[in-house]
Amino acid sequence: MNPPPQTLTPDAPEVAAPIDADAFFTDLLHARPVMYGPDASIMDGNALAPRTALEDEALASGVDPVDATISQNRLEIILESAKEMLEQTGAAPGAKWGDLTTGLYSAAGDLALASSSGVVVFSACASAPLKHIVKQWADEPTVGVRPGDVYYHNDARYGGVHNADQTLWIPIFVDGVIIGWAGATIHEGENGATEPGGLSASPLSVYDEGLKISPIKIAENYTFRRDVVNLLQNNVRDPLMQLIDMRAKLSACMRIEQQVLELVREKGRDLVVAVLRGALENTEAEVRRRFSELPDGIYRATHFVDTTLLEDRLLKFGLEVEKRHDRIICRSVGTAPMIPDRAINTAPTFARALFMNSLQMFFWADLPRNAGYVAALDFEFEEDSISTAGNEVPNGLGMIGACAWQTAMHQCMSKMAYNRPGDIEIIAPWYGMTQSLYYGGLNQWGAPVANLMIDINSMGGGAHADRDGEHACAPFFASMADYGEIEDRETELPVLTLGRRLTVDNHGPGRHRGGSSVECMYMVWGVPEFFYGCMGTGSKFPTTPGLFGGYGSGANPLTVFKGSSSEAVVAALRDNAADVPYTAHELHRDGGLPGTVESKRCTQSADLNKPGDMWILQVGGGGGYGDVLERDPQDVMRDLRETRISHWRARELYKVVYDEETLLVDEDATTAARTAERDARRARSLPYDEFVAQWRRDEPPVGIDYLGGWSW
């Protein structure tokens, strides 16, 4: 007999604990922020974090100064080695050619030591996002900071230069205590913005600027979370590059951590902690001491940017530097207002970094690159100016405006240092703009590519007080950076480089002339279509002045050639090679290719081009130093032989009389011509007050669209 069927009854459900609705909504609305946005206390300040108990203990432990100096040098070599490793393993053009940095940060987040080459400005603006991690995530129960954790960031509203840069950090622990952080930054470029390449001119809001990574933990136990990496890759146009460079940065940071821990085992934890804190405090103290030796006073400089990115406007950047003993106050004066729907705005952390750039690159490059440098300066920015843009406005191309600050600071420091002859070498301003093409599309191998041409790194150097400036030397923000090989570029990109050369009259003239930069001619080649865009300013109003009588370099417009048809351009290249132009000047003057040619504003949104279309970029040269009439006539002839200047400049500006075929100088005639020019100058001269009265206007000239204060 079968047993009676069991009566099935469901298990009684577990009764959840009653919810305290009032507590829930109180916590939701008041106890926590809706999100952890950029922290004003971090972004608005540039002081070093207060000493920690660990740092106090380390500094009081009696670290031998010689041991500390040797160890600091060893840490700097570790960072330089890691930077070289990153340069060799990274995939982005910025990684390959020097637009990157490695660093060691204090436990509180201040950048204490950085690689001796690479991007300088990171030392003044890369601390902010790490300080955000330390402040918001270290004690957050769902995040925390533990050995093997990996953090990431690119959103410039939390610190850094712009969203095209991505930084990775790992904490360094000793006996369960964090003693510092290892970090690596690469200008990745492509970040999924409205235009390919990561440096779009067209964003009208922060939501058009692509990937925005607030400081975030992306890995534990040194292992990336694949889903998080996939999320980042899903938001950019070159997912392979994103993956390669994240791995490269993690490897570099792990290498730094390994070698720092080796030093700890050899010398002890206190020594490393004392070295990092000492580097910060000693740098700040030394910057103040050096300023104290310079003459007190107020120094001013004014610069203009000639575009908002999408239209022509003159944007004013006024700087006033007040120096009293060891205190330096940098003020923005009459600067253009914030533009809510243009990406030319700048976050204050980056603006401060550009003020500091000239000090580190051109005046006191012997000091460690760290946050102590900028901590020695005070800043007074005008509210709602283009340099204090809020969190709700785009800033992806903020460096175009901020570059004006570094040139203005360079001029003020040059005037200050000139009055104290000594160990500071005075040079004219370097080319002060970030002029470059960006691109995107499928390359000739069918792979997606989008990034920045690296010709930005070919800037001309400023003239020295005792010699000419260097040609195509390096960008003003990154010593030792390279501008790459043509063959490498043509292998990776669907471009044919028709020309790449130093251009005539590109630099600023003077007793010593500035260095020239390059002109690059890129034709679309091997694919049906490809995007080019361009960023920069100075197509109408020059960006780089001269110094002490020297002239600035000229304007640098973009030249765009549109072929009448791809087939016609190919036929012209094949059948009439002798007539193919090799400079923008030749193309404008002589033609030689079937199509139309046009000079444009150098900031252009990405445009689709077909094979045969060509964009010609001119990077600018450095400023000149001293009176042109004091330049040695034989140096003028050398410039002519090397095609650095035109005959017009030799005759009309330098006032040299010579035979144009043999380039032999008529010394007596040259002396007479220069004497006549000096007499003409005296005849044109006015007493200072009369000159000012004649020169000053009550308002901007009619027809000039102008943004900024008009008071001087």
The per-residue pLDDT for range 252-301, each reduced to its tens digit, is: 999 999 999 999 999 999 999 999 999 999 999 999 999 999 999 999 99
pLDDT at residue number 4: 46
pLDDT at residue number 1: 43
Question: Is 252 found in the same domain as 211?
Answer: yes
CA 661 to chain centre: 44
Question: Is 608 found in the same domain as 644?
Answer: no
What confidence tens digit (pLDDT) does each residue in 449-470 have? Answer: 999 998 889 999 999 999 999 9
Q: What is the 3-state secondary structure (H, E, C) of 487-551?
A: HHHHHHCCEEEEEEEECCCCCCCCCECCCCCEEEEEEECCCCCEEEEEECCCCCCCCCCCECCCC
pLDDT at residue number 15: 63
CB 183 within 8 A of CB 172: no
Query: Is position 441 within any domain?
Result: yes
Question: Is 648 found in the same domain as 619?
Answer: no
Query: Is position 341 within any domain?
Result: no
Distances (CA, A) of 524 to 12, 612, 623: 72, 6, 33
Mean pLDDT of the chain: 93
**Residue from 143, 72, 148 nearest 368 by CA:** 72
Least confident of 72-76, 431-435, 656-660: 431-435
Residue 147 has pLDDT above 90, yes or no: yes
Residue 7 has pLDDT above 50, yes or no: no
Query: Is position 669 within any domain?
Result: yes
Element (H, E) at 569: helix 566-575
Element (H, E) at 303: strand 297-307
CB 304 within 8 A of CB 541: yes
pLDDT at residue number 34: 82
Percentage of the chain with pLDDT > 70? Answer: 97
Residues spanned by the domain of 198: 52-288
**Residue from 431, 424, 439 nearest 604 by CA:** 439
**Class of residue 541 by CB neighbours under 10 A (exposed 0-12, middle 13-18, buried 19+):** middle
**Which of residues 571, 605, 631 is at a domain's end?**
631
Question: Is 436 found in the same domain as 507?
Answer: yes
Residue 482 banded pLDDT, cuts 50, 70, 90: confident
Domain count, the chain: 3
Query: Is position 513 within any domain?
Result: yes
Query: Is position 374 within any domain?
Result: no
**Which of residues 288, 319, 340 is at a domain's end?**
288
Query: Is position 313 within any domain?
Result: no
Query: Is position 607 within any domain?
Result: yes
Question: Is 651 found in the same domain as 597?
Answer: no
Q: What is the pTM of this model?
A: 0.92
What confidence tens digit (pLDDT) does each residue in 330-345 have? Answer: 999 999 999 999 999 9
Residue 712 banded pLDDT, cuts 50, 70, 90: low
Question: Is 670 found in the same domain as 624?
Answer: no
Residue 14 has pLDDT above 80, yes or no: no
Residue 440 has pLDDT above 50, yes or no: yes
119-128, 146-155, 485-494: which is most confident: 146-155
What confidence tens digit (pLDDT) does each residue in 29-45 have? Answer: 776 778 899 999 999 88
Largest CA distance in the chain: 136
What confidence tens digit (pLDDT) does each residue in 596-645 have? Answer: 999 999 999 999 999 999 999 999 999 999 999 999 999 999 999 999 99
Phi, psi for 267 (deg, rounded to 5): -115, -15
Between CA 453 and CA 244 the distance in angstroms is 19
CB 534 within 8 A of CB 604: yes
Question: Is 553 found in the same domain as 702?
Answer: no
**Which of residues 631, 665, 689 is at a domain's end?**
631
Residue 19 has pLDDT above 90, yes or no: no
Q: Mention every residue, 6+ apart, whose C-beta is less than 8 A from residue 402.
A: 346, 350, 351, 354, 387
What confidence tens digit (pLDDT) does each residue in 89-103 have? Answer: 999 999 988 899 999
pLDDT at residue number 16: 67
Query: Is position 582 within any domain?
Result: yes
pLDDT at residue number 11: 59
Question: Is 498 found in the same domain as 462?
Answer: yes
Across-strand partners of 181? 105, 171
Residue 8 has pLDDT above 50, yes or no: no
What confidence tens digit (pLDDT) does each residue in 293-338 have? Answer: 999 999 999 999 999 999 999 999 999 999 999 999 999 999 999 9
Dihedral sign from CA coordinates of 238, 240, 243, 249: negative
Q: In what order do the strands lie in the sheet with 150-153?
A: 111-114, 100-106, 177-187, 165-174, 150-153, 216-220, 223-224
**Residue from 492, 500, 494, 536 nearest 93 by CA:** 492
pLDDT at residue number 26: 81
Question: Is 642 found in the same domain as 558?
Answer: no
Question: Is 150 found in the same domain as 94?
Answer: yes
Question: Is 483 found in the same domain as 600?
Answer: yes
Question: Is 527 found in the same domain as 605?
Answer: yes
